[in-house]
Amino acid sequence: MSDTDAIARMQAVFSAQKAAFEAERHRPVPERKADLKKLEAMVKARADDFAAAIDADFGRRSKAETAVAEAGFVIATAKHARKHLDRWAASKRKPVPPTMAPGKAYVRREPKGVAGIVSPWNYAMQLALAPLAAALAAGCRAMIKPSEFTPRTAELLQEVLAGLYAEDHVAVIPGGPDLAQAFCAQPFDHLFYTGSTPVGRLVAQAAAANLTPVTLELGGKSPAVIASDFSLDEAAKTIAWGKYFNAGQTCVAPDYALVPRGGQRKFAEAVMREANAMWPDVADNGDYTAIVSEKHHARLSAMVEEARQAGADVLQADFDPEKAGNTRIFPPTVVVDPPLDSALMREEIFGPVLPVLGHDGMEDAARFVNERDRPLALYVYAKSKPIARRFLARTMSGGAAVNVPMLHLSVEDLPFGGVGASGQGAYHGEAGFLTFTHERSVFEAPVWHPSRLVFPPYGRMFEFFKKLQAG
């Protein structure tokens, strides 16, 4: 289908979903639960099909990582929403001040309407279906624009969701950049985008024309900071896992490490030992994921070579490119002390390359982090909880974890999102439900309400009311 035809279909689906929402503005909670249960059952039934599609799109994708980070994640998200939906969707009573009594105040939690979801390629299943679960829980209709970098997964998403929901309820709209631009320009009731910060700015601009509220799940350079009381060898175990999981193609992967000055080389060697132990012989190791495209692979190669030419020390895991058979395998890499003006330190890496730099104490590390854009995640390693908590208090990030990377995003009741250049808005758990929900304030007064006593012309009752209001 050409982009022109895809845009025409997208606009027709959007109109159908708007009409369907007008016909049923408040989808009953039991039906929302049924929508989520269908999603959960589908993911369980088609998990192997999704694993095969994602593997084909990447050229090699770890089946274990797909099982945990894609299928397992979506199942947990849908199940959690079903379990808590009655409480989330219920109206919330609010106290009424004496000056407004008698009366009843409450907040109605209502679906916003038609949601647009733009999903990326790095977790092509999870990052399409987890926001969808939140939208379904809220009672919204939803349209998904998947990434063109993972066409087989996009095709499978379209097939399975068409089998679960009517097109005026949930629809997948595949296509390229022109379609994506037109998609973001639609007057959605909420637009949810996951991807890079530069594209996120364009999405925000497109949404602004319609005053469409947006959630931007972006990226950024998430640091891992190691305090002097924490073993470099112990930190290397989890940082290596977090960095090289999905070959570093994870928005919350540690993007660089700050270690006590003088320990850079020791830490780099420890990370390499752990990487070689977790993913031996990455050339033909099915547990190690390929880079999604030649373009992305070439970008990573250029970043590492730039740092090498500038004199940085580069360590790489054991790798035989001829044995790989896939030209997009990029081995686990550590770069010691790259120049701060190099691409490795200016841009989000989004690959299996870990820069390592030194710091002169936690105050110095905090200053280094704070001089840069707010990261999506921040990881601090310290045996002393007060040291870790002081560091968190002196910095800002979308989310954070202590002594381990990435696991904060798997706690359903923790809101997940960025701040500043790493994004705006949040989802997961109730935060995801609220993202697609309008909280409508209501005050109910009896037929006769005392407020009439202070209507103009203002007199003694008005003066009494002023005194009462002032306390």
Write the CATH number for 285. 3.40.309.10
Domain count for the chain: 2
Residue 454 inside a domain? The answer is: no
String of b and e for 335-365 (b: at least 16 CB within 10 Å)? bbbbeeebbbbebbbbbbbbbbbbbeebeeb
- Domain limits at 76? 3-218+422-439
Considering the domain boundaries, does residue 468 fall inside one?
no
- The β-bridge partners of 223 are 256
Per DSSP, the three-state class of 214 is strand
Does 411 lie in the same domain as 367?
yes
**Per the structure block, which two tokens stand in for 226?**
């190691």
Q: With bands split at pLDDT 50, 70 and 90, how would you rate the model's confidence at 235?
A: very high
- pLDDT more than 70, % of the chain: 100
Q: What is the pLDDT of residue 459?
A: 86
Q: Is the pLDDT of residue 140 over 80?
A: yes
pLDDT given at position 417: 97
Q: Report whether pLDDT(212) > 70.
A: yes
Same domain, 202 and 158: yes
| 396: Cβ contacts below 8 Å, ≥ 6 apart | 370, 374, 419, 420
Among the options 40, 65, 251, 412, which is catalytic?
A: 251
122 in a structural domain = yes
Cα–Cα distance measured from residue 241 to residue 233, given in angstroms and rounded to the nearest whole number: 13
Which pLDDT score, from 0 to 100, does residue 198 have? 93
217 an active-site residue? yes
Of 40, 65, 70, 217, which residue is the catalytic one?
217
Q: Are 375 and 255 in contact (CB under 8 A)?
A: yes
- 115: Cα separation from own chain's centroid: 16
Q: Do 366 and 434 reside in the same domain of the chain? A: no
Mean pLDDT over 324-335 rounds to 88
262 with 364, same domain?
yes
pLDDT at 203 over 80: yes
Are residue 253 and residue 374 in the same domain, yes or no? yes
In a domain, 323, yes or no: yes
> Is there a domain that residue 204 lies in?
yes
Label residue 460 by pLDDT band (50, 70, 90). confident
Residues 24-48: pLDDT tens digits?
A: 999 999 999 999 999 999 999 999 9
Residue 1: what pLDDT? 67
308 domain residue, yes or no: yes
Q: Are residues 171 and 289 in the same domain?
A: no
Q: How far apart are CA 293 and CA 30, in angstroms?
A: 43
State the number of CA atoms in the 13 A half-sphere of 339 facing the CB. Answer: 12
Judged by average pLDDT, the poorest of 280-284, 293-297, 429-433 is 280-284
Distance CA 298, CA 291 (A): 10
Phi, psi for residue 89 in degrees, rounded to 5: -80, -15
Ordered strands of the 256-260 beta sheet: 313-316, 333-336, 353-359, 256-260, 223-226, 377-381, 399-402
**Pair (214, 274) in one structural domain:** no
pLDDT of residue 439: 98
The verdict on 402 and 271 lying in the same domain is yes
Query: How confident is the model over 274-281, as a mean pLDDT?
Result: 95
In a domain, 463, yes or no: no
pLDDT value at residue 470: 82
Instruction: Report the CATH number that the domain containing residue 118 is assigned in CATH.
Output: 3.40.605.10
User: What letter does residue 427 receive in the DSSP assignment?
Assistant: B
Q: Are residues 85 and 203 in the same domain?
A: yes
Q: Residues 215-221: what's their mean pLDDT?
A: 94
Whole-prediction pTM = 0.95
Q: Where are the beta strands (DSSP E) in 353-422?
A: 353-359, 377-381, 399-402
CA geometry: angle 229, 230, 236, nearest 5 deg: 155
pLDDT at 6 (0 to 100): 87
- Are residues 134 and 93 part of one domain? yes
The better pLDDT of the pair 159, 100 is held by: 159
Question: Could you tell me if 293 and 247 are in contact, meaning their C-beta atoms sit under 8 angstroms apart?
Answer: no
Residue 457 lies in a domain: no
pLDDT at residue 219 tops 70: yes
Q: Which of 245, 263, 265 is nearest to 254 (CA)?
A: 245
Same-domain status, 213 and 240: no
Average pLDDT over the chain, rounded to an integer: 96
Same domain, 230 and 212: no
